[in-house]
Amino acid sequence: MPNFLKELRRKSRSSFKAEKPDTNGSTDGSSSSNGSNGANGRYPPNNQSSSTLTSNLGSTTPPSTLPSQNSETNLKSSGSASPVRPMVSTKRYSINGTASSPTTANGLQRPFSGTSAFAPCVTSVSENSWVNQKVLLIRGRIGEPTLKLLDGTVTIYHHHDSFPPTQWPVCDSHFKALVHLQPGPNRLRLEFNSTKLSSGSSGHSSMLQLNYLPLTSVPPLQLAIILAKDSPETYDAVPDRIQREGNNLHTAVRKFRMAAYLWQAFTGEQMNRHGFGRRCFRYEEEWTQGTLTYHDSQSGQMRNEAKIHIIRSDKTVEEIRNLDLAQQYEKAQKKGDLYGIAMESVKNYFRPRPGQKLYVSCMFLDTHWDSQVGTVRGHAALGGGDGTVQLAIFGSHALQSYPASIEEVVPAFTDCTRTDTKHVANDCNESGSNWEAANIGIGAHLHETGHLFGCPHQESGVMLRDYVRLNRTFSINEPYSTRTKSQGQRVLKQEDECTWHRLDCLRFRYHPCFRQPVDSPSSSDDSIQVWSVGNNQVLVTAASGIAYIELYPEGDDVCHYWLEYPVPSANGGPLRQVTLTEADLRSRLPEEKRNKKLKLELHSCGQGKHVVEDFSALLSKSNRVKLPDGRAGFKGSKLGFSQMDGSKPQELILESAFIQTKLLTSIKVYHGFALDGIEFIYEDSTSQLFGQRGGKPGGSEFPLDTRKGETVMGFHLRAGLWIDGLQILTTLGRRSEMFGNPTGGSAHTLIPPRGYAIAGISGSLAAWVDGFSLIITR
């Protein structure tokens, strides 16, 4: 046998031996994610999220029957395996730098020993968890809480050395880190080193397995940089930065991409803390030269990373900057123009088709700090959308302070270099140093992206400028702050960090960009209907399910009190009908606000919203109707605004609702580009008309199969300012065609709550029907 074959055989045998499972309990095993029932259907008393909330709602695998554990449970100083966690062979997932292969990417040997008393314990994510984001934020401590506090570094070795090792500071035995994941199983090795430990004590290591499942079936958040047509493709930076790292378009792409992955890591962690699993939005990705590690720019390594679209506007640099759009500049006259420029540029670039919806977060590269005037030109912080494109925009005036790679995250958030206002902006006087400028730039842009996703301003969190503390999510300590004139903090704990408000996370839970494979199919009808049914009760119904209800006593412009209706874990379906009483709602308010006018904002799981301006008025006698047979009828919430010229109220009580011998045989709908009227035709050739006989001559008739007992169950309508179209729903599951404009307004389904039937129609008529609601009875 040739010598080289003998050598190869010897090496193969040794590698097989090295791949035997580690029976010291340091690594292999599986465990379900931490579980929780999530929200309890009541608003939190102190309006703060619990740091212990976790949930399987976002899990992509069925929950295990084993007790939920995290890496801290599995990495005790004794080195013994957890008795409830089965051991799994490391052969399949052995990686360089683990017990089975103690080498680094450059071939050097790295000593490895079993878990020691000072092994890193990851406390924020469970062993064998499934996540859907490429860059994951983790936190933990060194060894057991009873051990002495140590400073040092944690080095993370990634799966199969697919990403270079990264080092993260440890302060008083606590650490935070970002890990880069490959699709599928990832075996990570965490190694702690400290000068306070004896020089011979190396190998304070632990293992963590995470599973990364990229999502491709939900709409992505698109990222874009907008350039003027004559842009120099540079952004504001101090001379030292320009010399050291450049300020060209390539560097801008790297920094914006890294900021976007920080948004994702932050949001995924926040969703998990609120009990919704690590569900998060995704990015469109492309195969390109990697930028998430600075090593890739040296080696030319290609990776799949978030795509940054480069959009060229038809406006010049001068046109963009002369809009004077800095929101802090009092003389600004056209603050909304830049948003319009961005919207036009985005639509021209992506060209969305009817029915498509885009989510795009943009940065204007040609933003410029005008030190003479004292304002940032070519910048506006805005977010929102028109239903076709949901858009957020921000400027590049703080871009120089952003990290360009994972290795630069901690240095960027601890850089105390003072802001040189000769060259760059001190935005809102809250960016006096580089790390504070990174907070404002990355965080304020995330705030506008929150608006893109439908979030209003809140009482706390990112949507109330809590992003001035964004650094605390990624750093274990904080340096001197020019904003607060304070010396910072040595160890930043979870309660010190920036947050998404609970209501923001509730919106995200049901947002299409945050959907996961385990979620039930979404309903095309996002509407909510409100029915006053007597006895001081109001029924709320929604085809897609009821998510939460916000309470606004008079004088409150942000929400402080709310009710949640979490999806039950047993049957997996949302609640589609709930009962509200005024006494119960007012009991949730402080004593001094219980007698004030109460507004409700009701939110469906389909992202629909319905506003009740005055809950007491909803219970008033004006919403009741007395039927001819003496029974009570109740008006439901009205569609349409009843504000057209000449609009007059109309009301119709169906004779079939109170005369047993009256048989409804067909319905005739009069329509053109809107609903003109609806006529109910009976067996005895009599009829009743709501509205008028306009539009299509003779109308469109829909017969009922009375031999099978078919009756009208409800209506599906398209409505906005008026009633655009109407579709008839029957008790046999049949649907008529959509009479009128099938694409006008938004979709609404009017079906009486359980135990109630249609008694009539109430609304208003102008040139066509501009108000429509059902009258129901028991």
Amino acid at 173: S
Q: Are strands 757-765 and 624-626 parallel, antiparallel or unpaired?
A: unpaired
Quick check: is 430 catalytic? no
How far apart are alpha carbons 582 and 491 in whole angstroms? 46
* Angle, in degrees to the nearest 10, between helices 434-452 and 249-273: 70
* Angle, in degrees to the nearest 10, between helices 502-509 and 249-273: 100
Strand partners, 691: 677
* 3-state DSSP of 1-23: CCHHHHHHHHHHHHHHHHCCCCC
Q: Which of 374-403 are b and which e, b meaning 16 or more Cβ less than 10 Å from the residue's Cβ?
A: ebbbbbbbbbebeebbbbbbbbbbbbbbbb
Residue 758, judged by CB atoms within 10 A of its CB (0-12, 13-18, 19+), counts as buried
How far apart are alpha carbons 495 and 493 in whole angstroms? 6
Say which residue the tokens 């919403």 belong to: 623
Residue 365, judged by CB atoms within 10 A of its CB (0-12, 13-18, 19+), counts as buried
Task: Name which of 114, 358, 316, 129 is nearest 231 in CA terms.
Answer: 316
> Residue 53: what are its φ and ψ, rounded to 5°?
-70, 125
Tell me how crowded residue 421 is: count the other CB atoms within 10 A of its CB.
Answer: 13
| Structure letter (DSSP) for residue 101 | B
Strand partners, 178: 137
Residue 520, judged by CB atoms within 10 A of its CB (0-12, 13-18, 19+), counts as middle
How far apart are alpha carbons 667 and 769 in whole angstroms? 17
Q: What is the dihedral sign for C-alpha 507, 508, 512, 517?
A: negative
Residue of 127, 305, 407, 448 with catalytic role:
448
As given in the structure block, the two tokens for residue 100 are 């089975």
Contact 20, 101 (CB under 8 A): no
Instruction: Reduce the DSSP state of residue 563 to 3 states and report it.
Output: strand
How far apart are alpha carbons 469 and 26 in whole angstroms? 35
Q: Show the beta-strand stretches assigned E in 83-151.
A: 120-122, 129-131, 135-142
Instruction: Reduce the DSSP state of residue 715 to 3 states and report it.
Output: strand
Q: Are strands 723-730 and 739-740 parallel, antiparallel or unpaired?
A: antiparallel
Task: Name which of 762, 753, 751 is nearest 538 in CA terms.
Answer: 753
The string of DSSP codes covering 513-531 is GG--TTSPPPPS---EEEE
HSE-CB at 33 with a 13 A cutoff on CA atoms is 28
How far apart are alpha carbons 193 and 151 in whole angstroms? 9
As given in the structure block, the two tokens for residue 363 are 């940065």
- Alpha-helical runs (H) found in 422-535: 434-452, 471-474, 502-509
Q: Show the beta-strand stretches assigned E in 570-686.
A: 577-581, 598-604, 609-612, 624-626, 632-635, 648-653, 664-671, 675-682
* Catalytic positions: 448
